[in-house]
Structure 1
Amino acid sequence: MTAPLPLIHPILLAGGSGTRLWPLSRQSYPKQFSKLMGEESLFQASARRLSGPGFAPPTVLTGEDFRFIVVEQLAAIEQAPQRILIEPQERNTAPAIAAATQLLAAEDPQALMLVAPSDHMIPDVDAFTRTLRAAAPRALAGDLVTFGILPEHPETGYGYLELAPGADARADSPQPLARFVEKPDAARAAQMLAAGHFLWNAGIFLFTAVTMAEAFRQHAPDILPGIDAALAGAEPDLGFTRLAAAPWGALPDISIDYAIMEKSANLAVMPYASGWSDLGGWEAVWAEEGPDASGTVCTGAAHAIDCTDTLLRSESAGLELVGIGLDDIVAVAMADAVLVARKSDSQRVKEAVALLKERKAKQATQFPRDHRPWGWFESLVIGTRFQVKRIVVNPGASLSLQSHHHRSEHWIVVEGTARVTVDDTVQLVSENQSIYVPLGAVHRMENPGKLPMVLIEVQTGSYLGEDDIIRYEDVYARS
């Protein structure tokens, strides 16, 4: 009788802040947390895919700005992580994987680790789980198993994996790997597709903790002292593990491919052919959304008239987007920014972000909704000496006890009930009621109810920036 496989420990990488899906994906709220496809974010779909029988709770690596988003999105799908590691700075995949490896190796050297980005789309969960199980024996035997996607077209946006002579790109078991191949130009991508022994590099890896720990000792020993120092100096913080900033900041910015995989001899590749996308650009989103007979995809309040091979997407309920006579076009409309490009040029979106950064436009990096540990807010109107916001406070959540040097605030509750503190007065403010917070008053807002509380805030004053906050108490331990 075959012995059951050990638990797979998912390592979810959720710290990236890519811009190829701007304006929906921005530095303050990147694509893994957005609902690009369906009612769940890519991060939630990834966590759900790697859960259930055979999986341990996930270890999540993310950044300071995203830690509460991770907790909130996991809670929304009723999942609890094994741990959440906070990376003080982005340092690419090798340091992140090394930190998770060292932690798990100390607990169980034979722990079977699955490293996966949290922004990929894999529709057939059962097929993917079967593929993981088929790859597990090789990982348990001491190989570093990478996953390769059977290519569907000559893609220039992915790295490739070249199979060794005699290997089968359609096999249902791990195959020998010859080498990693950098992202090709169009001609080379077409040649590799025709050759039949190349796979897309999915950036997904399966190995035991002891195998990867030994790989770091052999191929990237300079990384380990900094990793060990960052772990030794890590501090618990509201359920998170905050890695020590100084040693982490001194680590190299290097991918696991460069640091380990391209130097290792104990490699195998597991082919996968049941549907996968890293949604690395709007053209990929267009393809995965399922274009109609004319090649057109409309999402949200978007409409097409005589359009072909076009993606029209409105991300604002009150913004109607209409395309007429378009061909090979991507148009993505949000409340504060609109992208219009040829679909074939959608990989150039990073140029738009660079242009906006140069002009110091906040749209380059800041999402219209500012997500906080207690909920979110968005600016509706901004004037010279006033600003109107919509604020949504989660059930049981509380803003910090704070004051402002330069502004006063008027709060009008439109949904739910708020418990409001203004200096020494605490009172409940219900729907259609309002309260005034004078300049300099020490105040706090809480949602004592079981449903989200929504209010409209009108700020008036000489300066309305988010840095005009003096915090006295904060349940989320923000400075």
Structure 2
Amino acid sequence: MTIYPVIMCGGAGSRLWPASRPGRPKQFLALTGEHSLFQSTVLRVAPLASDGRVIVVAGAGHADAVAAQLAEIEAEAIVLLEPEARDSGPAMAAAAAFIEALDPTGVAAIMASDHHIPDAEAFREAVRIAATEAAQGRIVTLGVTPTSPSSAYGYICPSGPGLAPVKRFVEKPDTATAARYVAEGYLWNSGNFIVAARTLMDDLAAHAPEIGVQVRASLPASGETGPVIRLGDAFRSAPKISIDYAVMEKSGRTSVLPVHFAWSDVGAWDSVMDTGEGQSGIHIAVDSESCLVRVPDGMVVATLGVSNLAVIVEPDAVLVCALDRAQQVKAIVDRIRTEAPGHADIPERREAAPFARFGDWMRTAALPLWTTLGVHPDGAFVEALTLEGRHSESRRRARVQSRQIFVLCRAGALGWQGPWRERAEAGLNRFLDGYVREDGAIRNALNTDGTVLDDTAVLYEQAFALLALAAAHEAGILPERCEAQARTLLDRLEAERLPGGGWREAGDHPFQANANMHLFEAAQAWSARGVDDRWNGIADTIASLALTRLIDPERGFLREFFDADWRPAPGEDGHLVEPGHQFEWSWLLSRHALARQDAAAMAAARKLYAHGLRGVDPRRGVAIDQLDDVLKVRSAGARLWPQTEWLRAALAMAALSDGDERRERLAEAGKAMRGLNRYLCANGTWRDKLQPDGSFVDEPAPASSLYHIIGAFDEVCVAAREVLIADAPVGLA
């Protein structure tokens, strides 16, 4: 018997306004200590799981909150995201159906995310006892022994002492009835259920069959096991009904286990007060007693001559109520929704028009800076600029020269009115005169005086040279010279193609995805020029290599380094997974799939995008640098370029989707845009490295990042033309 803890992360907690609201419900609040109720629940139940992971069922709108709070306590979970709330019946059914598919004998321990249970071990022991009974086909609920009559809870009437069948469930009673129930031995209904997944699905089939049908249809057909699973649209068709009405009140299999530990559903401010841990912030009390005060940092609440009050202060709202009226706060919320609706939920604090800001920055800051201070008199481009706009370089790599040529040609294509053509042509002449070896290959780097520093022909540099040549050819800049040089490099590539596909790189990592990825991009660019059909063959070769060798055949993510047979490299190198490259390959493969009408490539592109999201840190709102091949964090630093690739891929995936999926991709694009804007400085430079603590490394802005930035900007303009996003530029004019 294996126990699968399931945390139901729904509910609005409207009686805990103004702290709890739809956009920030009570389970994500620290109401009874340093951790939120959700985090406390995860920590309490994780030891019950054999692998230390729990299952969380939450609304899609709370995906970021769940991820951020799990990360804060360094916990893992499989998260099932509901496309819309359908009450507890379908939510529990989805978890049970998932567990049944994973483990037909698995037992689900289903609990709310927002309860306060100080004695974690007593709770776990009760679950283990209940699970033994559940494995025999019973549905066991935990009945809390009442400490006093309460009209805030539902009750369970057991048929006898100890673990016994349920005689009946009853709704929240009035105070007098509650007193009678307590006298007659009724138990509080805690809402915790321990049941074998198969048993619950069988009872649903008997009493609410449509729920089981729709939730099974909403699970991924691929048998995906997480960590985040978005339930499909079939979930919306499941009847909206609580598990009590759907199953518990009809089933003949229900039992109740009396428990004696302290328990509260923390449903209103009086119950928060009762925990003894609900106070927060600075409260100066004079002749005041029995008051619950919660105040944000930077504020103080003073009370004089009052008692039995809740004073709850938020930046936009304050609640003052008698604690014995706390159960009636919902009536206030109903009026607020009508009379002051802006305060019924969390006020919107997002950056205004982030896409428009991006366009303004490109047009008025970045491009003017890098075409003036970022260019040498001989036409070569500067490697880096300090944040004050001063040169910082000890060499001139070929990749910087070719990338800047590409950037300027794309800026011209997007309508920028600055001196892009003059700078691109001068830069291209300097590049072809200084970086082309006698054999036609592109050398790696020059010294700052123009002499040769590194004469190695690196595949990465050949790829970017080809990309720059294609962009200049499209712009009509030295087209004959561009075409001739590209043909020379193409001949070399044809001769150097590996028998197993792909191309070898110079240096310590000869068999790598990255250099081949950039050659893929260059081949696509030259294929679009239509000057030599062999470019289609180069693109097809790399696409095939990605689909058959570079991408993990079982899980669908892409590694970085390989051996000569394109198997994962030995040692740590073979475990490296970069979220930014998942996004970058996703974008390139989706373009290739559209050009070739290749369904397999498109499916791979979508999966790569999903794996890229695994590397997004919800606390900082950025894509991090490195994961390992079990998709755990390897390096939590976050460079600028993965943000651009996330933005570009999200918009591309949005264009390929519709309905809810498109809305999700566009929301992700908005997050990526806001994340990228954190790096951009007003003067046209940028910060490159965001550290785990949220600070930036103090260093010059590398010119090479502008290639990534304009790639993302290009996709923003495409999305604006297709009316996918508002307040966005459609070019640089």
Question: Counterpart in 2 of 1:287?
Answer: 274
Tell me, yes or no, if the aligned pair for 1:143 and 1:268 is still in contact at 8 Å.
Answer: yes
Structure 1 runs not aligned, ≥5 long? 1-5, 291-296, 378-393, 404-416, 429-445, 455-466, 473-479
Q: TM-score, normalised by structure 2?
A: 0.50
CA distance in 1, matches of 2:617, 2:227: 13
Against the structure 1 CA distance between its residues 327 and 234, is the aligned structure 2 distance closer, same or farther, given a 3 Å change threshold?
A: farther
Against the structure 1 CA distance between its residues 370 and 26, is the aligned structure 2 distance closer, same or farther, given a 3 Å change threshold?
A: farther
Other structure's SS at 2:330 match? helix
Shift of residue 368, structure 1, vs aligned partner: 7.4
2:680 to 406, 417, 420: 420
Tell me, yes or no, if the aligned pair for 2:7 and 2:57 is still in contact at 8 Å.
Answer: yes
The amino acid that maps onto 1:109 is P
**Cα displacement string for residues 305-328 of structure 1 (whole angstroms, at most 9, x for unaligned residues):** 1123321221x1121111111122
- Pair 1:305 & 2:305 matched: no
The amino acid that maps onto 1:184 is P
1:121 to 116, 120, 133: 116
Question: Counterpart in 2 of 1:448?
Answer: 690
Tell me, yes or no, if the aligned pair for 1:199 and 1:271 is still in contact at 8 Å.
Answer: yes
Shift of residue 238, structure 1, vs aligned partner: 9.4
**Cα displacement string for residues 56-97 of structure 1 (whole angstroms, at most 9, x for unaligned residues):** 41111111221111112112211111x211101111111011
Tell me, yes or no, if the aligned pair for 1:69 and 1:373 is still in contact at 8 Å.
Answer: no
Question: Counterpart in 2 of 1:218?
Answer: 206
The amino acid that maps onto 1:288 is T
Tell me, yes or no, if the aligned pair for 1:15 and 1:66 is still in contact at 8 Å.
Answer: no
Shift of residue 470, structure 1, vs aligned partner: 4.2
CA distance in 1, matches of 2:281, 2:729: 39
Against the structure 1 CA distance between its residues 237 and 274, is the aligned structure 2 distance closer, same or farther, given a 3 Å change threshold?
A: closer
CA distance in 1, matches of 2:637, 2:307: 46
CA distance in 1, matches of 2:142, 2:168: 13
Residues 233-312 of structure 1: pairs in structure 2 closer than 5 A: 239-245=227-233, 247-289=234-276, 298-312=279-293
Q: TM-score, normalised by structure 1?
A: 0.75
Shift of residue 131, structure 1, vs aligned partner: 1.1
The amino acid that maps onto 1:281 is A
Shift of residue 471, structure 1, vs aligned partner: 9.9
The amino acid that maps onto 1:144 is I
CA distance in 2, matches of 1:374, 1:216: 36
Shift of residue 54, structure 1, vs aligned partner: 4.9
The amino acid that maps onto 2:259 is Y
CA distance in 2, matches of 1:53, 1:347: 33
The amino acid that maps onto 1:205 is F
Question: Counterpart in 2 of 1:20?
Answer: 15
Shift of residue 271, structure 1, vs aligned partner: 1.0
Shift of residue 356, structure 1, vs aligned partner: 1.4
Question: Counterpart in 2 of 1:346?
Answer: 326
The amino acid that maps onto 2:331 is E
Q: Going by fraction, where is helix more abundant, 1 or 2?
A: 2
Does 1 or 2 have the higher relative contact order (CA < 8 Å, sep 6+)?
Answer: 1
- Pair 1:335 & 2:323 matched: no
- Pair 1:178 & 2:167 matched: yes
CA distance in 2, matches of 1:373, 1:363: 29
CA distance in 2, matches of 1:395, 1:471: 30
Shift of residue 232, structure 1, vs aligned partner: 4.8
**Cα displacement string for residues 275-331 of structure 1 (whole angstroms, at most 9, x for unaligned residues):** 1111000000001016xxxxxx753111221123321221x1121111111122111
Against the structure 1 CA distance between its residues 237 and 469, is the aligned structure 2 distance closer, same or farther, given a 3 Å change threshold?
A: farther
Against the structure 1 CA distance between its residues 367 and 235, is the aligned structure 2 distance closer, same or farther, given a 3 Å change threshold?
A: farther
Against the structure 1 CA distance between its residues 370 and 305, is the aligned structure 2 distance closer, same or farther, given a 3 Å change threshold?
A: farther
> What percentage of aligned pairs have identical amino acids?
33
Other structure's SS at 1:177 match? strand
The amino acid that maps onto 1:225 is V
2:306 to 326, 342, 348: 326
Tell me, yes or no, if the aligned pair for 1:283 and 1:343 is still in contact at 8 Å.
Answer: yes
CA distance in 2, matches of 1:261, 1:18: 23
Shift of residue 236, structure 1, vs aligned partner: 7.5
CA distance in 2, matches of 1:255, 1:327: 38
CA distance in 1, matches of 2:225, 2:293: 42
Tell me, yes or no, if the aligned pair for 2:114 and 2:266 is still in contact at 8 Å.
Answer: yes
Against the structure 1 CA distance between its residues 208 and 70, is the aligned structure 2 distance closer, same or farther, given a 3 Å change threshold?
A: same
Tell me, yes or no, if the aligned pair for 1:159 and 1:182 is still in contact at 8 Å.
Answer: yes
**Cα displacement string for residues 231-274 of structure 1 (whole angstroms, at most 9, x for unaligned residues):** 257997995211122x2222222111110011011111011111
Shift of residue 401, structure 1, vs aligned partner: 5.1
CA distance in 1, matches of 2:682, 2:313: 39
Against the structure 1 CA distance between its residues 154 and 368, is the aligned structure 2 distance closer, same or farther, given a 3 Å change threshold?
A: farther
Other structure's SS at 1:358 match? helix
Against the structure 1 CA distance between its residues 85 and 147, is the aligned structure 2 distance closer, same or farther, given a 3 Å change threshold?
A: same
Against the structure 1 CA distance between its residues 39 and 338, is the aligned structure 2 distance closer, same or farther, given a 3 Å change threshold?
A: same
Q: Going by fraction, where is strand more abundant, 1 or 2?
A: 1
Tell me, yes or no, if the aligned pair for 2:116 and 2:263 is still in contact at 8 Å.
Answer: yes
For the pair shown, the structure with the greater C-alpha radius of gyration is 2
Against the structure 1 CA distance between its residues 238 and 143, is the aligned structure 2 distance closer, same or farther, given a 3 Å change threshold?
A: closer
Against the structure 1 CA distance between its residues 15 and 298, is the aligned structure 2 distance closer, same or farther, given a 3 Å change threshold?
A: closer
CA distance in 1, matches of 2:167, 2:81: 35
CA distance in 2, matches of 1:231, 1:54: 22
Against the structure 1 CA distance between its residues 222 and 274, is the aligned structure 2 distance closer, same or farther, given a 3 Å change threshold?
A: same
Q: What's the C-alpha RMSD, in Å, of the aligned pairs?
A: 3.0
Shift of residue 31, structure 1, vs aligned partner: 0.7
The amino acid that maps onto 2:75 is Q
Question: Counterpart in 2 of 1:64?
Answer: 60
Residues 139-218 of structure 1: pairs in structure 2 closer than 5 A: 139-164=134-159, 167-168=160-161, 171=162, 174-195=163-184, 197-218=185-206
Aligned residue pairs, count = 392
Other structure's SS at 2:6 match? strand
- Pair 1:74 & 2:63 matched: no
Shift of residue 221, structure 1, vs aligned partner: 0.9
**Cα displacement string for residues 402-421 of structure 1 (whole angstroms, at most 9, x for unaligned residues):** 99xxxxxxxxxxxxx95327
Other structure's SS at 1:176 match? strand
The amino acid that maps onto 1:87 is E
Against the structure 1 CA distance between its residues 234 and 426, is the aligned structure 2 distance closer, same or farther, given a 3 Å change threshold?
A: farther
